[in-house]
Every structure is written in structure tokens, then in C-alpha cells.
């Protein structure tokens, strides 16, 4: 079978016992694409993340990473290609320091010491974690523990990054670091699939939106216009983020969904000078 996409789901279904959590889900994510995976609570997002990471295997269909069928690989082997962040990842750190934890993945993959060090330091830098590198993960607040787990996923420099709620509880500065780091990994060719309820973060960082509803694929399209449409989002349990709502309310040209674009549009109308 010809597999061009980095990540590809083909008619994927999964049930926990009698209840179907995912039904006939198909989509592809190419190298360098930045995709938001959205949907109401219970829509099936985390289930899909677990399937891509190989922690669960589909009951129907196939999840492909590169040419690998994830159902036939152990999670340890998949870690060569998939970096994942789980929703409650703050509980998954086990090393004595943040630095050791971030380096765990590359070390386990057998990279030489200098390469492990480069990846670890780059990931710590990218997420502004250097100040905490020597701290015990459990002496950090949960939001920073999760950030450390994200650094561990980035340090794998994988072909697919699948992240479940990477920004919960983060302040604006840290969210911007996460956004920059994700953009950079996508530029280097990673396929990004990011589960988030933070639609402002999604708007700033990602550009395609896949929405699940009741375990089915409800939309797969460019993110910006979708985020501007309150009527389309409502039945999916979603609400336009503030920038999109402002654009609509003030009828800003181009209906921007990113802060900087909205400030420019506003400045043009008001005749002021944008300061962003």
C-alpha cells in the first residue's frame, strides 16, 4: 500500500466494552501540518490519541504512522516515530529531576550521550524550563510538570507529535513558548495533532481543524473560518474564541482569528498605528 501521509487513519473504530468511542474515523496528516483535534467532552479525542500512541489498538480500521501499522507495534517501538503527551501527563514523570526526565526518551532510543544532551537542552530551552531543570518534578506545580512531559515528547524529535491538552493551566507567556516550539517542530517536518479546548491557542498555533462529535468525524477543514462561525461550532459544543468573536462583532475585514491580525485590522479602521 502506498502511504504518503505521515499519519493516516483509515476507517478507525474503537469501543470500550459496549459503547463505541470512535466510529469510522478517517483522515491524514502530512509532514509539517498543524492540526487541531477538537470536540466536546467525551467526543473521543483522548481515545484517538491513545490509538495513535499505540496504547490502544483499533477494533476496526488501521492507524498508520509512516508505513507502520500502529496496531502491530509495541508503544516502545512506536516512540521512535510518535511523541505523545497524555491528558494527565503530570503524573507520568518518574525521574529525580526534570532534566533527567526530559532526556529519558532519547536515552531509551539509544542515542549517544552528546545527542541526548543536545535534544534535552533544546527542549528545556524551547519551553523555558531551564530554571526548573534540576528540580524534582513533584516539587513543581502540575502545569509545569505537564510542560516537562511535553519537553520529553519534543526531545524525541518524532515524525508525529500527538498532544492531549498541552496548555491547561499555563499562563500566556508559557503558552507562547509552547506555540513557538510546536511551530518549529512542524517546520522541521513533524506532523502535529493537538487536542485542545483552548481555541485561542489553537487559532494562534494551528491551521487545520478536525472536530469529533460522538466519536465521528464532524468536520475537517481550515481552522480560521470554522472558529469564526458560532452557528457551526454550537452543535459541536464549541464557542468562538475571543478574537474571532471580536472580529465578527466589529465586522473586522478578513475576520481575523489571531490577536496580531485583529490588532492590525482594528488599527487600519481606526487609523492608529499597530504596536504589536
Partner 1 sequence: MTRLALEEVTFWYPATRAPALREVSLEVAAGEIVALVGKVGAGASTLLLVAADLAPRVTGGRLAGAVRRRARSGIVLPTPWTQLSGMAFTVWDEVAFGPANLGWPGHEIARHVDHALERLEIVSLAARDPITLSGGELQRVIVAGLLAMDPDLVLLDEPTAELDPAGARSMWRLLRLLAGEGKAIVVATSELDAVPDVADRVVWLEAGAVRAIGTPQLLAEDAACDDGLGTTVARIWRAAGLAPPYPLTVADAVQRWP
Kindly list the residues in this chain that would bind partner 1 in the complex (CB under 8 A).
Answer: 16, 39-43, 46, 87-88, 90-91, 136, 139, 141-144, 165, 168-174, 197, 199-200, 233-234, 237-239, 241-243, 245-246, 249-250, 259-260, 262-264, 266-267, 270, 272-276
Cβ count near 139 (within 10 Å): 11
Beta bridge partners of 29: 7
Task: Tell me how far apart the alpha carbons of residues 47 and 9 are, in angstroms, rounded to a whole number.
Answer: 13
Task: Tell me how far apart the alpha carbons of residues 122 and 131 are, in angstroms, rounded to a whole number.
Answer: 14
Among Mg ion, ligand ATP, partner 1, none, the one that 188 touches (CB under a kind-dependent 5 to 8 A) is: none
Contacts of 18 (CB under 8 A, 6+ apart): none
* Residues of span 79-138 touching ligand ATP by CB under 6 A: 87
Among ligand ATP, Mg ion, partner 1, none, the one that 275 touches (CB under a kind-dependent 5 to 8 A) is: partner 1
Per CB under 5 A, 196 contacts Mg ion: no
Per CB under 6 A, 18 contacts ligand ATP: no
| 143 dihedral zone (left: phi>0; alpha: psi -120 to 50; beta) | alpha
Over the window 30 to 69, marking each residue x when it contacts ligand ATP by CB under 6 A and - when it does not, the resulting string is ---------x-xxxxxxx----------------------
Cβ count near 17 (within 10 Å): 6
* Strand boundaries in 95-244, DSSP class E: 160-164, 191-195, 208-213, 216-222
CA-nearest of 78, 258, 75, 83 to 186 is 83
The piece of 15-23, 57-65, 80-88, 259-267 that touches Mg ion (CB under 5 A) is 80-88
Q: How far is the CB of 199 from ligand ATP (least distance, A)?
A: 13
Q: How far is the CB of 180 from partner 1 (least distance, A)?
A: 15
Q: Which residues are near ligand ATP by CB under 6 A?
A: 16-17, 19, 21, 39, 41-47, 87
Amino acid at each position: 500500500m502506498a502511504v504518503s501521509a505521515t499519519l493516516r487513519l483509515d476507517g478507525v473504530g474503537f469501543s470500550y466494552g459496549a459503547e463505541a468511542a470512535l466510529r469510522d474515523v478517517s483522515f491524514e496528516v502530512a509532514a509539517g501540518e498543524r492540526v487541531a483535534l477538537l470536540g466536546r467532552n467525551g467526543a473521543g479525542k483522548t481515545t484517538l490519541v491513545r490509538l495513535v500512541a499505540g496504547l490502544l489498538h483499533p477494533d476496526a480500521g488501521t492507524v498508520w504512522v509512516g508505513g507502520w501499522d500502529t496496531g502491530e507495534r509495541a508503544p516502545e517501538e512506536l516512540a521512535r516515530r510518535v511523541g505523545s503527551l497524555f491528558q494527565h501527563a503530570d503524573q507520568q514523570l518518574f525521574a529525580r529531576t526534570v532534566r533527567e526526565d526530559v532526556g529519558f526518551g532519547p536515552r531509551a532510543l539509544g542515542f549517544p550521550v552528546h545527542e541526548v544532551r543536545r535534544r534535552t537542552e533544546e527542549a528545556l530551552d524551547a519551553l523555558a524550563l531551564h530554571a526548573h531543570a534540576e528540580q524534582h518534578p513533584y516539587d513543581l506545580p502540575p502545569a509545569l510538570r505537564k510542560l516537562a512531559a511535553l519537553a520529553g515528547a519534543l526531545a524525541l524529535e518524532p515524525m508525529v507529535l500527538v498532544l492531549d491538552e498541552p496548555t491547561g493551566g499555563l499562563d500566556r507567556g508559557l503558552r507562547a513558548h509552547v506555540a513557538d516550539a510546536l511551530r518549529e517542530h512542524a517546520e522541521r517536518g513533524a506532523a502535529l495533532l493537538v487536542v485542545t479546548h483552548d481555541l485561542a491557542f489553537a487559532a494562534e498555533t494551528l491551521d487545520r481543524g478536525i472536530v469529533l462529535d460522538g466519536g465521528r468525524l464532524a468536520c475537517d477543514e481550515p481552522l480560521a473560518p470554522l472558529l469564526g462561525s458560532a452557528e457551526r461550532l454550537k452543535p459541536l459544543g464549541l464557542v468562538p474564541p475571543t478574537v474571532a468573536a471580536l472580529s465578527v462583532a466589529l465586522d473586522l475585514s478578513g475576520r481575523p482569528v489571531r490577536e496580531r491580525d485583529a490588532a492590525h485590522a482594528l488599527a487600519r479602521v481606526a487609523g492608529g498605528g499597530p504596536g504589536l
